[in-house]
Amino acid sequence: MSIESYGGNPDIVAAREEIQRVAFEIKLCAEELTAWPALETLLSDPIHQLKFRIAAIGIEQKLHRLHTHCILAAENYFTIEAQIQRRFEITFVPELARIISQLIIGPGWQVDRNVKADLVSEQISRKPSSISTILDRLWELSSKDQPTVGIDLLENSAGSKTAIVYIPGTQSFSFGDGSNPLDMASNIQAMGQANQAASEKAVLLAIGQAGISSKDEVIFVGHSQGGMVAGNLAANPIGFISAGLITFGAPLAQLRNLKVPVMAVEHVNDPVPNLSGKTNPLKKNWVTIQRLSNKSESNAVMFSHSLKSYKNTSVEIDSSSDVGVKNIKSQLLQKVEGTKPSKSFEFRISRAFR
C-alpha cells in the first residue's frame, strides 16, 4: 500500500467546519435570490426586472453548484483525516499518564533520581540527504546492545551548529527498576508531561555534553518512545533552538504547540501512535504520513512497529509528490543544506538510583 498524508500544505489549512461555513453562506445567497420579493418594482421598471429575473435563474443554478462542490471538496480532502478519526478521541490519556507518574513515586517504588549519558563513540558526522538516510542512522543506533543516543553535528558558515539528535524506542518492559531508561516508566512519564521521563532527562544531558549551545539548531528524530521524547524536547527547548521533528511510530497528537516542521510517520496497523488518544492536528507545519505495512516486511512480533518496516515507508516518502510531504521534507532537509560534517557522538544513557 502506498503512503497517504494530510497536513503540511500551507495552501490548504482550513478545517472542514470552515469549508462548510462557506458552503452555508453560498446556500443562503441562493435562497435569498430565489425569494426576491420585487413584484412592485416589476410594475415600475418591467424591462430591467425581467432581465434581472432571467439572469437570476442562471446565477441561482451556479450558486447551488458551488455549494455542492464545496461539500464535495471538503469530503474529498478530508478523506484521510476521516480515516484517522477511526481512533477514539480519548482526551484524558495524557492526564491519566500524569496521575500514574505520580503513583510511580509512591511508597515501595524505586525511582530514578539521577541519569547518565556516557560518551562511547566520537567520529565524523554524515550529512543526511533524505528521510531514508535519516531512518538508517536511527536504525543503526536502535540496533545497539545498550541504550544509545546519537548526536550528529553539522557546521554552518555563520559559526553556529545544526545538530540531529536520534532517540531509539522502548527497549525494556521494566517500570523504573532497571538501569535502561528507555522503559515503560519513561513511556508513561513522557506521555504525561515534558521533562519527567528518565530517558528525556538523559537525552537532554547528552545534548549539553555534545557542546550544543543556545544559538544552535536541533532537529529531533525518534522511534516509538524516542518519538515522544523527541516531541517533548522539540516543544520545550532548553539551551538550544528547536528546528524540526521527525517521528516513526510515535504517539504525538498530545503535543499541540509544536511550531517547528513536523513529520509524523505512522503505519495504519501500528497501535503505538494511537496511544495518545487523539488525532494529529491538521496544520501547515505538520504532515502526518500513513501506510499499511505488511507482515512480510519484518519478522518482529509487532511487525508494523518495527523500523525495518518503517524503512520501506521512508523510501516512499522520498519519492512522494504529495505537496504536504514535499513541503515538510524540504523544510527539514534545508536545515542541513550548506553545512559541513563535524562530529558525531554516541552516548550510552542510563538510570541511576540513590
> How many domains are there within the chain?
2
- Kindly report the average pLDDT of the chain as a whole number: 82
Angle ∠(202,205,208) on CA atoms, nearest 5: 155
Residue 283 dihedral angles phi and psi, to the nearest 5° = -140, 155
Q: Are residues 67 and 120 part of one domain? A: no
Q: Does position 83 have pLDDT exceeding 60, yes or no?
A: no
Same domain, 202 and 226: yes
Grid cell in block for residue 253: 497528537
**Claim to verify: residue 140 and residue 247 sit in the same structural domain:** yes
CB proximity list for 72: less than 8 A, separation 6 or greater: none
Model pLDDT, residue 93: 46
Q: Are residues 155 and 267 part of one domain?
A: yes
Q: For residues 291 and 313, give the distance between their C-alpha atoms in angstroms, rounded to a whole number.
A: 7
DSSP string, 230-274: HHHHHHS-SSSEEEEEEEES---TT-----S-EEEEEETT-SGGG
Choosing from 34, 65, 84, the residue where a domain stops is 84
pLDDT tens digits, one per residue of 187-209: 888 887 888 889 999 999 999 99
Amino acid letter at 147?
P
**Whether 214 and 303 share a structural domain:** yes
Pairing assessment for the beta strands 161-167 and 148-155 based on DSSP bridges: antiparallel
Range of the domain at 324: 93-352
Chain segment 256-284, per-residue pLDDT in tens: 889 999 999 999 899 899 888 888 888 88
User: Predicted confidence band at 239 (pLDDT cuts at 50, 70, 90)?
Assistant: very high
Cell numbers standing for residue 58: 442562471
Residues 57, 155 within the same domain: no
Same domain, yes or no, for 23 and 136?
A: no
| Cβ count within 10 A of residue 139 | 19
Q: Are residues 307 and 255 in the same domain?
A: yes
Do residue 257 and residue 229 come from a single domain? yes
- Residue 337 and residue 272 share a domain: yes
Instruction: Let me know whether 50 and 105 are in one domain.
Output: no
Higher-scoring residue by pLDDT: 345, 296: 345
Read off the C-alpha cell for 149: 543516543
CA atoms of 301 and 333, how far apart (whole Å)? 33
Domain ends where: 84, 111, 141?
A: 84
Cα–Cα–Cα angle for 92, 98, 104, nearest 5°? 135
Q: How far apart are CA 340 and CA 141, in angstroms?
A: 22
Last residue of a domain, one of 19, 51, 84: 84
Which pLDDT tens digit goes with each residue over 117-152?
Answer: 999 999 999 999 999 999 999 999 999 999 999 999
- The reported pTM is 0.78
27 and 63 in a single domain? The answer is: yes
- Give the Cβ contact number of residue 58 at 10 Å: 9
**Cβ neighbour number for residue 82 with a 10 Å cutoff:** 12
Cell of 63: 450558486
DSSP 111-126: ---EEEEEEEEEEE--
- Which one-letter DSSP state was computed for residue 283? B
